[in-house]
Amino acid sequence: MAEQERVWTAALVVIGDEILSGRTQDKNVAQLASWLNVQGIRLAEVRIVGDREDAIVKAVNTLRARNDYLFTTGGIGPTHDDITVDAIAAALGRGVVHHPQALAVLERYYETRGGMTDARARMARVPEGADLIENRVSGAPGIHVENIFIMAGVPHITAGMLDRLTGTLEGGRPVVSGTIGCWVAESEVADLLRATEKAHEGVSIGSYPFFRDGRTGANFVARSPDEAVVGTCLAALTAALEADGRVVVPGGI
Amino acid sequence: MAEQERVWTAALVVIGDEILSGRTQDKNVAQLASWLNVQGIRLAEVRIVGDREDAIVKAVNTLRARNDYLFTTGGIGPTHDDITVDAIAAALGRGVVHHPQALAVLERYYETRGGMTDARARMARVPEGADLIENRVSGAPGIHVENIFIMAGVPHITAGMLDRLTGTLEGGRPVVSGTIGCWVAESEVADLLRATEKAHEGVSIGSYPFFRDGRTGANFVARSPDEAVVGTCLAALTAALEADGRVVVPGGI
């Protein structure tokens, strides 16, 4: 009998008034989710909060306790609205210190960019005892403390930080997904989807309808850590749809 | 002395494994946030949860209690992974019924599209006592119950539902925002931003750095329900930046 597989989970707290005001379209949820999949870690929940210490503290403390990892994005720049480090330090009951290595990195980065200032030195502040996550794009590093990973708000900077973390976090088997597309209204095949999912243990099937070129279609995505079962499941679904006279597009539409 | 202005808030629960798996880029947060601004309602917090009843119930019950309005997006289609209605009914301690008007709408919509089925009738299920929100795009309506607005996951369907709700929700004065751009590293003007924000009561200034064409710049966004103060604040910031020899771009870069 197979041992029950341990599922590793992460949560994300997106920090920033600019997301809640609609000014900025978040891209870090999708980016982090995709990266976590490859590490064998499931993104279990996300909260988006404004630039307010109490909201950040509460979200961080709730989510870090019930997930293996907690990521945050946003609020680590040099300006007055960047309060993530202070809020997380408060959440952990730690002080805030200037990290000597971060200071050195910033000194070097700003040497040819107008020199160090107090505001720039702010970006070297970390919760006491924290490690740094290298940022090759813009100098100011990310921060790792306990099970928390503090990342930038700008997506391509966070991408670089995630790149540095690749392969360093313990996870389980990556979730594998496969997709088929079909020009069918999902409501016509709802029973078939339910039955197919039930017949393939450990697989979840998502149904994603769309309207394109005046036609109704849907993509069906099977997900499981077991690649073989994803294949079997999609093969069964394809056969059933084709037996019903539907045209199936492997890989999705 | 001016009476303390009442601030109206809303929360959003985004429901769907496809968002947490990274398969689908959410667009409803930004869309709802922008729409709420115009209604004079502030989007105060967002949670993204998977297709799991316990997670939905908990998020809905926490957020509906502490906000004037709660919106949800996703999980109201005809398939097995669409459990939003059941979860919200459970959260409210209400039963689930087929809404007669929703059934009629769906009968009419599917008359020329293969006819009604059990799966399609699922989309007429609502928490007992709920009202409908018209959906001109694809038939299946949104749902309004207590202070909860249950919307579609597909952004353009939700757009249509929001359009129906425009002007029907009580709110305060809309938050007005104004933007200026400047080719400057935000870290060079952090003190100026902080001082300018402090000097203009009720205004928040956000700083949004970017790297473009090899140059560093930032947009500064002032927000307040008081349009005049937004103008005064940005004029002061512009004057200070220009006095410092910076080029300011009205409207942002």
- In chain A, residues with a C-beta closer than 8 Å to the C-beta of B58 are none
Distance from CA of B224 to the nearest CA of A (A): 12
SS3 annotation, B139-184: CCCEEEECCEEEECCCHHHHHHHHHHHCCCCCCCCCCEEEEEEECC
Which chain A residues are Cβ-neighbours of B50 within 8 angstroms? 44-45
- The model's confidence at residue A136, banded by pLDDT at 50, 70 and 90, is confident
Nearest CB to A46: which of B48, B190, B194? B48
Class of B176-250 per CATH? Answer: alpha beta
Q: Judge: B22–A33 Cβ closer than 8 Å, yes or no.
A: yes
Q: What is the pLDDT of residues B9-22, one digit of tens each?
A: 999 999 999 999 99
Q: How far apart are CA B200 and CA B207, in angstroms?
A: 16
CA distance A189 to chain B (A): 8
B129: left (phi over 0), alpha (psi -120 to 50) or beta: left
Average pLDDT, chain B: 94
Residue A119 vs residue A85, higher pLDDT: A85
| Domain segments of chain A as ranges | 8-165, 176-250
AA identity, residue A241: L
Give the residue from B21, B51, B60, B207 with the most A CB atoms within 10 Å of its CB, the best one to mutate: B21
Average pLDDT (B108-118) is: 90
Residue in A18, A24, A111, A187 to test binding to B, most B beta-carbons within 10 Å: A187
Kindly state the percentage of chain B with pLDDT values over 90: 85
What pLDDT, on a 0 to 100 scale, did the predictor assign at position B129?
Answer: 98
Query: ipTM score here?
Result: 0.90
The dihedral built from the CA positions of residue B95, B96, B102 and B108, taken in this order, carries a sign that is negative
| Pairwise CB contact (< 8 Å): B22 & A44 | no
Verify whether the Cβ–Cβ distance B185 to A114 is below 8 Å: yes
| Mean pLDDT calculated for residue range A163-192 | 93
Instruction: Grade residue A4 by pLDDT with cuts at 50, 70 and 90.
Output: low
A8-165 under CATH 3.40.50.800, yes or no: no
Query: Which residues touch B123 (CB under 8 Å, ≥6 apart)?
Result: A187, B76, B77, B78, B102, B106, B139, B140
Count CA within 13 A, CB hemisphere, residue B141.
25
pLDDT band with cut points at 50, 70 and 90 for residue A229: very high
CA-based nearest residue to B31, from B173, B170, B163: B163
Instruction: Please list every residue in chain A whose beta carbon sits closer than 8 Å to the beta carbon of residue B31.
Output: 22
Instruction: Encode pLDDT of B26-81 as tens digits.
Output: 999 999 999 999 999 999 999 999 999 999 999 999 999 999 999 999 999 999 89
**DSSP conformation class of A226:** -
First to last CA, chain A: 38
pLDDT at A1 over 50: no
Residue B238 has pLDDT above 70, yes or no: yes
